[in-house]
Amino acid sequence: MMRRRITLAALTAASMGMAFPALAQAPACQPRVPDSELIKPRTLVMSTNPTLPPLQSVDSTGQLRGMRIDLGNEIARRLCLTPEYVRIEFSAMVPGLAARRWDMINTGIFYTEERARMMQMIRYENNAVAISAARGNPLNIARQEDLAGRSVGVELGGFEERTLRAMSQTIQSAGGRPINIRTFDNFAVAFQALRAGQVDAVTSIDAVAAEYDQRGDFPRVLHGINATPAALAFRSRALAQEVSKVLTEMMADGSLKVLFDRYGVGIAEGGFAVAGPQ
């Protein structure tokens, strides 16, 4: 009886294989990047700072959400890799990339020539700096000069802080009082300080300031300041080159525009060339 059951099972399996050859022989997805270029086999490890709604944030269930998360997931899918995220403050991202703690910085890091000399970068997103005021804009901030002597919060160590310090220097050179710049670990804490009245304004990026404005939290009183592309950043040039190909494919099939339009973000002009050390 046992021999008969085994024979019947074998015949059944054989007949299913003949009836559904596609299921039996479906090819596995082949990663486009060798494991030697990754910190974990068949995994794309990305750092993100989820304090920038709607681009990257955490929902009520603790899940990562936003345009850059959607983009990172799609890049990983097309590379046949498993996406994995490390939530970390921005100030630790570049050192962590050099120390092989992650493969890719996926936080919309602003592109600069200085940064491109340290790591591989792909410009992909239009971006600029913005100023958010307290609810109702009680100080009537309408020009950069209106920030003279005011307390303005900003995330530590980023392009936004650099832009704010340059703005303060310009105001001071024109005879105004310098901006009282207060740095915070991340943008979420900076906006909490604004809500609590601990600062008069916050410097962030256009899309984030627009999101808070649309929510009715903090009006975006200045925007379009120091427009500079945002980038993805890598240690491995081979990985960066494959991601560049993915972005080009997404541009060609229209999926990149659909994703960016959903979040009101512009695509950087000039293609997705890799800039960085050879």
Asked whether residue 22 is assigned to any structural domain, the reply reads: no
Rounded CA separation 185/155 (Å): 6
Rounded CA separation 147/263 (Å): 29
- Confidence at residue 67, expressed as pLDDT on a 0 to 100 scale: 97
How many independent structural domains does the chain possess?
2
pLDDT digits (tens, 9 = 90+) for 89-101: 999 999 999 999 9
* 143 lies in the same domain as 262: no
* 80 lies in the same domain as 133: no
Residue 133 confidence (pLDDT) above 90:
yes
* 201 lies in the same domain as 65: no
* 150 lies in the same domain as 217: yes
Task: Classify 74 as helix, strand or coil.
Answer: helix
Hey, CA dihedral for 110, 114, 120, 122, is it positive or negative? positive
* 50 lies in the same domain as 170: no
* 153 lies in the same domain as 195: yes
User: Residue 54, preceding bond cis, omega within 30 degrees?
Assistant: yes
Q: Which helix (H) or strand (E) holds 270?
A: none
* 233 lies in the same domain as 219: no
Average pLDDT over every residue of 67-82: 98
* 72 lies in the same domain as 190: no
How many Cα atoms are found within 13 Å in the side-chain-facing hemisphere of 237? 9
* 151 lies in the same domain as 238: no
Instruction: State the pLDDT confidence band at 6, using cuts at 50, 70 and 90.
Output: very low
Asked whether residue 250 is assigned to any structural domain, the reply reads: yes
Average pLDDT over every residue of 212-216: 96
* 254 lies in the same domain as 197: no
Q: Domain boundary at 225, 240, 258, which?
A: 225
How many Cα atoms are found within 13 Å in the side-chain-facing hemisphere of 218? 30
Instruction: State the pLDDT confidence band at 220, using cuts at 50, 70 and 90.
Output: very high
In whole numbers, what is the pLDDT of the chain averaged over residues?
A: 91
Instruction: State which residues form the domain around 249.
Output: 35-127+229-267
CATH of the domain at 104: 3.40.190.10
Asked whether residue 13 is assigned to any structural domain, the reply reads: no
Instruction: State the pLDDT confidence band at 28, using cuts at 50, 70 and 90.
Output: confident
Contact 156, 183 (CB under 8 A): yes
- Confidence at residue 272, expressed as pLDDT on a 0 to 100 scale: 98
* 204 lies in the same domain as 90: no
Rounded CA separation 183/198 (Å): 12
* 71 lies in the same domain as 99: yes
Asked whether residue 65 is assigned to any structural domain, the reply reads: yes
Share of the chain above pLDDT 70, in %: 90
Asked whether residue 275 is assigned to any structural domain, the reply reads: no
Among 110, 122, 64, which residue's Cα sits nearest to residue 203?
110
Residue 2 confidence (pLDDT) above 50:
no
**Positions of E strands within the chain:** 43-48, 57-58, 64-65, 82-87, 104-110, 120-125, 129-133, 151-155, 180-184, 201-205, 220-225, 230-234, 274-275
- Contacts by 133-137, CB closer than 8 A, 24 or more apart: 133/200, 133/201, 133/218, 133/219, 133/221, 134/194, 134/197, 134/200, 134/201, 134/218, 135/216, 135/217, 135/218, 135/219, 136/219, 137/219, 137/221
- Confidence at residue 27, expressed as pLDDT on a 0 to 100 scale: 59
Hey, CA dihedral for 78, 104, 249, 267, is it positive or negative? positive
Asked whether residue 175 is assigned to any structural domain, the reply reads: yes
Asked whether residue 2 is assigned to any structural domain, the reply reads: no
Asked whether residue 43 is assigned to any structural domain, the reply reads: yes
Instruction: State the pLDDT confidence band at 59, using cuts at 50, 70 and 90.
Output: very high
